[in-house]
Amino acid sequence: MAIFSPGFQGRRRPANGLLPPGQYATEGFPVLSAGPTPRVSPDIWELVISTESGEQHRWTWSELQALPKATPTVDIHCVTKWSKFGTSWEGVSLDTLLDGVETAAAYVLAHSYGGYTTNLPLADLRGGKAWIVYAYDGRPLTAEHGGPARLLVPHLYFWKSAKWVRRLELLETERKGFWERAGYHDYGDPWREQRYDGD
Ligand SMILES: Nc1nc2c(c(=O)[nH]1)N[C@H]1C(S)=C(S)[C@@H](COP(=O)(O)O)O[C@H]1N2
Ligand SMILES: [Mo]
Distance separating alpha carbons of residues 33 and 35, to the nearest angstrom: 5
User: Would you say residue 5 has pLDDT above 50?
Assistant: no
Cβ(163) – ligand 1 distance below 6 Å: yes
State the Cα torsion 137-143-149-154 to the nearest 10°: -60
Cβ(37) – ligand 1 distance below 6 Å: no
Using one digit for the tens of pLDDT, what is the confidence trace for 26-77? 999 999 999 999 999 999 999 999 999 999 999 999 999 999 999 999 999 9
Residues at Cβ < 5 Å from ligand 2 ion: 32, 78-79, 158-159
Q: Residue 75 in contact with residue 154, Cβ under 8 Å?
A: yes
Cβ(146) – ligand 1 distance below 6 Å: yes
Q: Residue 109 in contact with residue 175, Cβ under 8 Å?
A: yes
The pTM of the full predicted model, rounded to 2 decimals, is 0.93
Average pLDDT over residues 138-157: 98
Å from CA of 92 to ligand 2 middle: 23
What is the identity of the amino acid at 32? L
Using one digit for the tens of pLDDT, what is the confidence trace for 93-117? 999 999 999 999 999 999 999 999 9
The CATH class for the domain spanning 44-192 reads alpha beta
Beta bridge partners of 59: 47
Q: What's the pLDDT band for 6 if we cut at 50, 70, 90?
A: very low
User: Would you say residue 22 has pLDDT above 70?
Assistant: yes
Average pLDDT over residues 155-183: 98
Q: Where do the domains of the chain lie?
A: 44-192
pLDDT at residue number 90: 98
